[in-house]
Structure 1
Amino acid sequence: MSDGYARRVVDDELDELIEGLPAIALEGARGVGKTSTAAARAQTAYRLEDAVERGIVVGNTARLLDGEPPILIDEWQYLPESWNLVRRAVDEGAAPGRFLLTGSTSLEAPPTHTGAGRIVSVRMRPLSLAERGLEKPHVRVASLLSGERPEVGGSTSMTLEDYVSEIVGSGFPGLRGLTGRALRTQLDGYLERVVDRDFEEAGHSIRNPAALRRWLTAYAAASSTTASFETIADAGSGAAGRRPPRSTTITYRDVLERIWVLDPLTAWLPSRNRLRRLVAPPKHQLVDPALGARLLGVDADALLDAAPVGPRIPRDGPLVGALFESLVTQSVRVYAQAAEARVGHLRTASGEHEVDLIVERADGRVVAIEVKLARTVSDDDVRHLRWLASRLGDELLDAVVVTTGPAAYRRSDGIAVVPAALLGP
């Protein structure tokens, strides 16, 4: 590792994979830290986003194979043939740890299909709460997934105000430490690049950037909901009430997912189905809740005031609760990936029962997590977890309520209560 690099949760995964695999691709939105993480272990680097460096290799892409390994090909999508070049090198017997690739765009017709089984993709997201150094985590998702019902303890001085500061403060490593106007300007610049440059680089020109910005703002207002895309389109139609054509909004959604700005949470549909009549719409999430807050024009004080803001999207509770759930969801996904687990959400067709996060092991057994913007937990707050336990039996490994409270503990019914800052990988 290079001097000054702050180790990430994903580094443990990379350490395991690089010992046995010749090519690994780190994928995720711009600004999540892919280049720093890859560069910390690379001995040779080709940075293809730089026009000068790209120009040097464009006439002779084979030179990307030259150098001391690991060889980093940074932002490979600027020279798509680099992917197939690496794939062929793997086919010809490249040694483990030979190549690291990073990419901020999954292209519409990606060459990744031809690399299946040869180039392994690893997802990176913004800094989780555990990676931000706020507290030492006391409760590990990996332990919860073990099925051993670990002891739960620890305390934190983090308050609701602190969590709201983390929501608006962003998990993009390059923005940590910025406040006030400097932070707002950087977030605005990020969003402007999404609208003005990233769409075109992904192969789609935008005729009406203002309409895209309105749609993205409506999507931010729908954070942590399963609102239909028709509802989002209506909310983003603007003062004139002109809703974009469905074909346009589908393009918005598809491209924003390919450049990792949207990070929707899919529904959990168990393979060994003891549950019937579950519904499968995604729960809407942006890659970083700070982007949602900025799109909606709210700062920490406005979130704490809980005044109605932005496009009208039906949701339970104030916006601050939705964005707190976004923050916890983003963190849990980082921890679950480290444990080789997947994350989804659960909702019955009637809407009678919902569970915010279902973390699923490869064998189908799960940990269920509810997210509550509260310091204390009542019996009513755990009713959905109790219902799920009655349906799943031993397949429910553990049940957790993540809160803004001061202490981690287990209730008398066995459900763990864990402050968000004390949860880790």
Structure 2
Amino acid sequence: MTFLEPWVMATLRRDMGDPCCGDGRAYLPAYLGDDRVPYSWGKTTLLRQLEACRGGTYLTLDDGTLRAAAHADPEVFVADGPRPMLIDEIRRGGDDLVLAIKASVDRSPGRGQFVLAGSTRFLATPSLSESLAGRAAIIDVWPFAQQELAGGTTSFLSRAFEEPESFRTTAQSSCGRADYFDLIARGFFPEVIAMRSELARAEWYDSYVQSIIDTDIREMAKVDEAGNLRQLLRLAAAATAQELNMVKTAGDLGLHRTTVSRYLGLLETVFLVHSLPAWSRNLNARAVRRPKVHITDTGLAAHLLSVDAEGLGARVAPARGALVETFIVNELAKQATWSPFRVNLFHWRLSQGAEVDLVVERTNGRVIGVEAKATDAVDLRDFKGLTTLRDSLGDQFVHGFVLHTGRRSLSFGDRLTALPISALWDR
């Protein structure tokens, strides 16, 4: 079985967009009906499509013969074949191959010579001496967004910044609590979306984590104790949507704090977790405050926490709020990758207690705030953090949204609106 995971593509000397869609992002509607399953689009499929649309040479270093040739004579390997050269699983080529690619680009600096793909942020791995800085554009591709799966065409972020008042007249959502919990527990990897068996999904997640930790991380970082990484990943899942207490985590694992910090960086490198930095108008404060940690896929987080959709809907469900927040943060992080304008994502918390789960800031300084609520009923108290943020920013605060599991959109006054979570993908 081929595991399709989040991957990073480095495109040398050019801006990368999807050649067939033409809109700069990988958009693909997929269907979940009884007689249809979604198309599994991983990095290999996308590279093959690039080859079909634009020509060039596709090579995968999973092929032992090609890998041996790349190691034996990397300069000849990258010189042979029409451009663009599309190299899959580039991390298996090692430092000498990356240096050969750098030398080739420096000799002939035309754009679009190489497209490099891998299941890790391979250019940041400790085993490489060359990052291709200034020569590569890096694109992180997440698991599917629900907007893609639903066939949506309008980005929530675009609408939230440009026409936020339009959300006040949004039709009643067709999604209810159980629908959201099903999405969260299932996850968004291409492989698991096609699986109707909960047992099959669980087995896939087990194999996926084992493969990433035992193969990818050990290969790139020479980590001897894989059990500590697995345990750290479980602790990160238990702390998803929270600021991870590194001192306590180090104590729980019996490891030094610097080792835990290094291991957490490795889990980010292989796309199992991602960090949401703290937001502040004071850039120094922004740099030193603790980030929140989020598991990259809620299905993986639910699996690590041993909770299913029914468990999330139980009267007492400790993981429910955190997983709903992570689901919303991940959906908006995915949309940010194809936003028509650049945005940065943060969380915000004051020592006095006001906080906002997600602050989205444009480079022009304008801000929207998003609160996640795992409840059907919303009242003015749920807007406390957003109200504080609005009042402190004035005109630079565009709008604040509380996303909840109910079905109705409701106005709560000046630039404050409660929305069903499905507003992230419904028009």
Question: Could you say which TM-score interval applies, normalised by the shorter chain?
Answer: 0.7 to 0.9
What residue identity is the alignment partner of 1:176? I
Task: Indicate if the aligned counterparts of 2:278 and 2:286 stay in contact, CA closer than 8 A.
Answer: no
Q: Distance in 2 between matches of 1:356 and 1:32?
A: 31
Change (3 A) 1:70 1:37: same
SS in 1 for 2:134: coil
Residue from 96, 101, 118 that aligns with 2:135: 118
Change (3 A) 1:203 1:212: closer
What is the alpha-carbon root mean square deviation over aligned residues? 3.2
Q: Which position in structure 1 is the counterpart of 2:227?
A: 210
What residue identity is the alignment partner of 2:164? R
Q: Please give the residue correspondences for 1:134-283 in structure 2 after superposition, counting only pairs within 5 Å.
A: 136=152, 140-146=156-162, 148-152=163-167, 153-178=170-195, 179-207=197-225, 209-234=226-251, 236-237=252-253, 243-270=254-281, 280-283=289-292
Which structure 1 residue ranges, 5 or more long, are not aligned?
1-7, 238-242, 309-317
Aligned pair 1:51/2:64, yes or no?
yes
Task: Indicate if the aligned counterparts of 1:127 and 1:172 stay in contact, CA closer than 8 A.
Answer: yes
Q: Which position in structure 2 is the counterpart of 1:92?
A: 107
- Displacement of 1:168: 1.6
What residue identity is the alignment partner of 1:116? A
Q: How high is the TM-score relative to the length of structure 1?
A: 0.81
Which structure 2 residue ranges, 5 or more long, are not aligned?
1-5, 18-23, 27-39
Q: Which position in structure 2 is the counterpart of 1:353?
A: 354
Q: Distance in 1 between matches of 2:372 and 2:133?
A: 36
Q: Distance in 1 between matches of 2:172 and 2:78?
A: 50
SS in 2 for 1:355: strand
Task: Indicate if the aligned counterparts of 2:69 and 2:77 stay in contact, CA closer than 8 A.
Answer: no
Larger displacement relative to structure 2 (197-206 or 135-144): 135-144
Residue from 82, 89, 96 that aligns with 2:97: 82
Task: Indicate if the aligned counterparts of 2:280 and 2:286 stay in contact, CA closer than 8 A.
Answer: no
Residue from 98, 119, 125 that aligns with 1:107: 125
Task: Indicate if the aligned counterparts of 1:155 and 1:422 stay in contact, CA closer than 8 A.
Answer: no
Q: Distance in 1 between matches of 2:408 and 2:79?
A: 52
Aligned pair 1:343/2:382, yes or no?
no
Q: Distance in 2 between matches of 1:204 and 1:191?
A: 17
Task: Indicate if the aligned counterparts of 1:167 and 1:289 stay in contact, CA closer than 8 A.
Answer: yes
Change (3 A) 1:46 1:141: same
What residue identity is the alignment partner of 1:91? D
Q: Which position in structure 1 is the counterpart of 2:365?
A: 364
Aligned length: 385
Aligned pair 1:294/2:303, yes or no?
yes
Q: Distance in 2 between matches of 1:272 and 1:205?
A: 35
SS in 2 for 1:399: strand
- Displacement of 1:246: 2.9
Q: Which position in structure 1 is the counterpart of 2:47?
A: 38
What residue identity is the alignment partner of 2:300? L
SS in 2 for 1:165: helix
Task: Indicate if the aligned counterparts of 2:127 and 2:221 stay in contact, CA closer than 8 A.
Answer: no
Q: Which position in structure 2 is the counterpart of 1:17?
A: 15
The percent identity for this pair of structures is 27
- Displacement of 1:139: 6.1
